Structure 1
C-alpha cells in the first residue's frame, strides 16, 4: 500500500520553499525545480524515520534524467541536493521538534541516509539518460553515415551533415582502409585512429567512421594533408606487419560526391589487391588505366587467353611464370631488381623469362611483344586468371 505523505504546515512550506531558492543559488543557479518533492521527503523522514520508498526514489531518478536533458552537469544537480540538505537541516520538522541530543542524532541519521539514497538515485537517473543520449546519437550517426556512403536521401544529407561537422556543398575526398580483420564501429582501431587524427588536426571537418568492415575517412579537398596524416595514424595503430591498404578516391563535390569518392576508394583497394601493387596508399586517380582495361573485359579476357594460355602447360603451372612477369614489369624490366624482389637468383629469373618466350612466342626483349605481355599480365591479375589450381 502506498505510504501517505504527511501534510506540512504553511510555515514549514514557506521555510522549505525558501531553502530550495537558496540551494539553487548555492549550486550556481541549477534550477530549483529539480528538487521537486525532495525537501518534503526529508521533512517526513526527519519526523517518522521511515526511508523513502521506490516511488519516491523514482522521482529522484526522473529529476536526474531531467537534469541531463536540460544540460545541467551531474556535479551541479548533486550539489543542488546536497546544498538543499544542509540548508534545510535546521528547518526540518523532526529536527525542530527533537528533544535532546539523542533525538537530534536519530533524526540526523535518518535524514542523511535518505539524502544519500536520493543522491544515488539522482546519479542513476542522470547516467541512464546520458547513456540513452549517447546511444541515440550513435544511432543518428550510424544512419547518417550509411546514407552518406550509400548515396541515400541526398536531399537531406547536407543539413544533417552540419551536425557532424561536414560541409557537403564543397568538394570532399574519401580514404578507406582494408585490414585483415573487418574494422567495427566503435572498436579499438576505429577509436584510436579517430582520436589521434582529431588531436593532430583539431578540426571537426573530418569524419572517421566505418562501413562494410572498412575504416573510412571523409575530409574536405582543401585539407590536402589529411589522407597522408590518416595513413600515418593507421600505420601507428596497426603497425607495419598487418596487411592493411588505404584506397583514396578523387575529390567530388556535393552530397552525392562523398559516395562517388568512397566507391573510387574501394575500387582502388580492389585493384591494389588484385595486382599486388607495392605500397600502402593507392590513389584512384593513379589507377584509371586499369579502369579503362576493365571497360572491355571480354577483349581483355581474349588477350589473356591468346597470350598467356600456353603457360598452363609449364611445369608447376602458370603462376610462377606469371609472378615473374609481373615482378619484372613492376621493377622496370630490370632482371636484377626483379630477382631481388622475388628473393630468387638472377639466373632463375632469366630462365623463367626464356620459358615464357618458348611457351608463348612473346619475348620481353621485343618492345611490342613486351607491351602485349605486360597488358596480358595486368589483365590476368584483374580477371583472376588462371584461377584456383
Structure 2
C-alpha cells in the first residue's frame, strides 16, 4: 500500500484550516478540471457530482495528513484509479486531471503559507508539490494499471471460455451465438474457417501471435490453446480473405496446420473443427506443412465416420502399408496424383515429374497389391475413400 510521507509539524495548523474547507475546495477543483481536461468537460465523461465528490475526498486526504493524521493512506486515489479503469476512462486524462487538481491545491497551500508565521514557503510548497503531484497521481496510476491488467485477464478468461463453448457445440441458440460473436469480435455471419495446429509442447502456441498477424490483414479471429492443439476460427467474409488467411498461416514454417473448408453458420464450428483435425492428420509425420480439408463426397464421408473409414483404409491398403516406407509413399503419392489429374496418366506424370510409363507401372503395382482394378468404378470408389482415410491412421499403424 502507498504511504504518504510525514510532513513538517509546522504545517499542521494551515492544513487543518484547509481541511475544514475541503467540500468547497473540492467543488472548485472539479470545476477547474472540467474546464481544462476535455474528457471531464461534460456529463458524458464523468458526472460533475461524481467528479466533485472525488476531488473532495482527495483534498480531505491531503489536508488530513498534513494536519498530522498518520493513519491516512491512499485509499481515495486507489479507488479512483480502479474505478476509472473499470469504466474504461483514458489513463492520460486521469493523470491530466490529477495534475490540474494538484496545481489547484498547490496554489491554495501557497496562499495560506504566504501569510503564516514560522513557515518557509519554499520548503512547504516543495513538500506539497511532491505529495500532491507524485503521491496521489502515482497511486491512482498504479491502481489503474493493476485494475486494467486484472480486467484484461478476466476478459481473456471469459473469451477463452466462450471459444471453448463455440468449439464444443454448447452454443446453439441464435441469440447466444450472436452474443458469442460480439464478445469474440467475430461477424455474426460467415464464411469462416477453422484452423487446428499441432503445438510443439503443452502450453506452447503452434502459431505465436496469430490473432495479431491476421488482424494486420483485416481478418478477425478467436483462438483457444489446448494441450495438443491450438485451434481458432477465422472470419473470411471479404473477397480474397480465404487466400489471405492461408498465406498468413503458411508463414509459420515450423508448424503442422489443418484447415477446414469454409462454412457459413457459427453453430457448425464443431463440425468444421473435426474436418480441420482430419486435414491436420494429413501432415502428421512431416516436419511441417499446411493442409486444407478436401470437401469432396469421399472426404466428407471419411470425416463423418472416421473409425470406419480408418478400418477401410487398413483393409484396402494392408499390403501397401507393409512395404518399405520409400516404396509405400511413392505408390500412394502416385495414386493421389492420378486422382488429382482426374484419372489421367499423363497428368499424374506431369505432377510427379516422371515418364507416364513409370506412372502406369506404379498404378499396376497398386492394383496387384490391393486387388482392385482402376478400370472398375466400384474399385476406384474404394480406393478414393481409403486414400482419404489414410491420414487417420497413426504412423505406428502404417
Q: CA deviation at 1:225?
A: 2.6
Which sections of structure 1, spanning at least 5 residues, go unmatched? none
Q: Secondary structure at the match of 1:251?
A: coil
- The Cα shift of 1:280 comes to 3.0
Query: C-alpha offsets along residues 85-132 of structure 1, whole Å, 9 cap, x if unaligned?
Result: 2222342386244337x6112212321232212211111111112112
Contact kept in structure 2, 1:39 and 1:84, CA below 8 Å: no
Q: 8 Å contact 1:172–1:258 — kept in the other structure?
A: no
- Counterparts of 1:99-248 in structure 2, within 5 Å, are 99=117, 103-115=120-132, 116-155=134-173, 156-168=176-188, 170-179=189-198, 181=200, 189-191=207-209, 193-201=210-218, 206-212=220-226, 213-219=229-235, 222-236=237-251, 238=252, 241-248=253-260
- The answer for unaligned runs of 5 or more in structure 2 is 1-5, 7-11, 41-45, 339-343
2:290 is the alignment partner of 1:280: yes
Give the aligned partner of residue 69 of structure 1: 86
2:195 and 2:233 in contact (8 A); partners too: yes
The match for 1:381 is 390
Normalization by structure 2: what TM-score?
A: 0.71
CA distance in 1, matches of 2:165, 2:309: 36
Contact persistence 1:249–1:268 (CA under 8 A)? no
Tell me the alpha carbon deviations over residues 260-281 of structure 1, each in whole angstroms, 9 at most, x when there is no partner. 33333333333x33798x9734
Q: What SS class does the counterpart of residue 163 from structure 1 fall into?
A: helix
Task: Say yes or no: does 1:38 pair with 2:49.
Answer: no
Asked if 1 retains the 8 angstrom alpha-carbon contact of 2:309 and 2:386, the reply is: no
Q: What is the CA–CA distance in structure 1 between the aligned matches of 2:385 and 2:161, rounded to whole Å?
A: 43
* CA–CA separation in structure 2 for the residues paired with 1:55 and 1:157: 49
User: Displacement of 1:386 after TM fit?
Assistant: 8.7
Offset of 1:289 from its aligned partner? Answer: 0.8
Please point out which of 76, 84, 87 is paired with 1:59: 76
Give the match's secondary structure for 1:154.
coil
Question: Quick one: distance in 2 between partners of 1:44 and 1:85?
Answer: 16
Are residue 267 (structure 1) and residue 278 (structure 2) matched?
yes
Q: Secondary structure at the match of 2:185?
A: coil
1-structure distance, mates of 2:75, 2:65: 17
Q: How far did residue 137 of structure 1 move?
A: 1.3
Question: For residues 341-352 of structure 1, what are the structure 2 equivalents within 5 Å?
Answer: none
Partner residue in 2 for 1:26: 36
Following the alignment from structure 2 to structure 1, what is the Cα–Cα distance between the partners of residues 239 and 149? 36
1:251 paired with 2:269, answer: no
Q: Is the 8 A contact 1:175 1:218 kept in 2?
A: yes
Q: Secondary structure at the match of 1:229?
A: helix
Distance 1:386 1:88 in 2: 75
The counterpart of 2:96, out of the listed 54, 75, 79, is: 79
Deviations 1:205-237 (A, max 9, x none): x323235322413326x435322211112233x
SS at match of 1:214: strand
Structure 1 residues 57 and 261: CA distance shift in structure 2, 3 A? same
Contact 2:258 2:278 in 1 (8 A): no
Name the CA distance, whole Å, in 2 between partners of 1:167 and 1:337.
41
The separation in 2 between residues aligned to 1:75 and 1:376, in whole angstroms, is 62
Distance 1:303 1:233 in 2: 33
The number of residues matched between the two structures is 362
